[in-house]
Amino acid sequence: MSTVPGRPARIFIIDDHPVVRQGLRLLFTQAAHIVCGDAECRQAALARIGDAGADIAVLDLSLGDESGLDLIGAIRAAGVAVLVYSMHEDAVTIQRALTAGAGGYVSKRDNEDILLDAIVDLQAGRRHISTRAAQSLARHAPPPAEPDTRHALSERESTILARLGQGDSNADIAAALAISVRTVETYCARLADKLDLDGMKALRRYAIRKTLGDSPR
C-alpha cells in the first residue's frame, strides 16, 4: 500500500459498526493519513467533529435507525468535506447524497485502493464518484431528449454544465465561480432552455450522463 502524496488528510470516521471503524482507522493510518476521531451516530458525530480539526468525514449512510444523509449538510457547514462510504448503490440515494453536498461517493463493495484514491481527490479539492456509483447513476438516469444544439454554449455555461455533471450543488458552483446562487440558477434556466430540457432535474441528468461519457472514471 502506497502512502499519499502531499499533506495527509485528517479524517473523521462516522459508522455505526465498531469493526468497520477500526478497519478504516488501520487502513487510513497505514496510508499515512491521520484519523482525528470517530462516531457511531448522528449525535456523537455532531458533538465531536467540530473540535476534531477534520479535513474529510468518511460517512456511512446507515447509522442504526438514523440516516447519514441528514448529516451531510451539517458536516459541510462545519467546513469538512464529506466522502460517503456506503452499501447503498441505488442511483436515487447516490444523487441525494451528492445534492446534499457530498464531495464523493464510494461503495463498500469497492476495493480499498478506490477508497484511498477518493481521499486523495477530496483532499486536493476534487470530486470523486467511484466507477460503481457512476455506473449506477448512468443505468438509472432516463435518456435525455436530444438537445437543441442550434445555440452554442458560452464558456461560463459550459463550466456550469460540467460542474453539474460532477454533482456540484448550485451553492458549490456559486462559491467556486464567485457568483451568487441566483446567478447560477439563471444560468441553469438558460442552459435548460438552450438544450431543450424540461427543467433542473432533466438538466442535472443530462450533465451527469455527459460527464460519464466524457470521463473514464
Give the whole-angstrom CA distance, residue 34 versus residue 31.
Answer: 9
What is the edge-to-edge ordering of all strands in the sheet holding 34-39?
34-39, 10-14, 56-59, 81-86, 104-107, 128-129
Question: Can you tell me whether residue 11 is helix, strand or coil?
Answer: strand
19 with 114, same domain: the answer is: yes
Is residue 4 in a domain? no
When divided into structural domains, the chain yields a total of 2
* Residue 127 lies in domain: 10-140
Same domain, residue pair 35 and 136: yes
End-of-domain residue from the set 107, 140, 173:
140
Residue 188 lies in a domain: yes
Tell me, yes or no, whether 55 and 93 share the same domain. yes
pLDDT in tens, 88-136: 999 999 999 999 999 999 999 999 999 999 999 999 999 999 999 998 8
Look up the CATH number of the domain holding residue 92.
Answer: 3.40.50.2300
Beta bridge partners of 84: 59, 105
Which run of H or E residues covers position 165? helix 155-165
For the segment 139-156, the average pLDDT, to the nearest whole number, is 64
pLDDT of residue 150: 45
Q: Which of 90, 105, 140 is the last residue in one of the domains? A: 140
Here the CATH number for the domain that contains residue 205 is 1.10.10.10
* Angle value at C-alpha 12, between 83 and 10, nearest 5 degrees: 95
Residues 74 and 135 in one domain: yes
Q: Do the domain assignments include residue 150?
A: no
**Residue 51 · residue 29 · CB < 8 Å:** no
Report pLDDT digits (tens) over 44-66.
999 999 999 999 999 999 998 88
Q: Are residues 74 and 178 in the same domain?
A: no
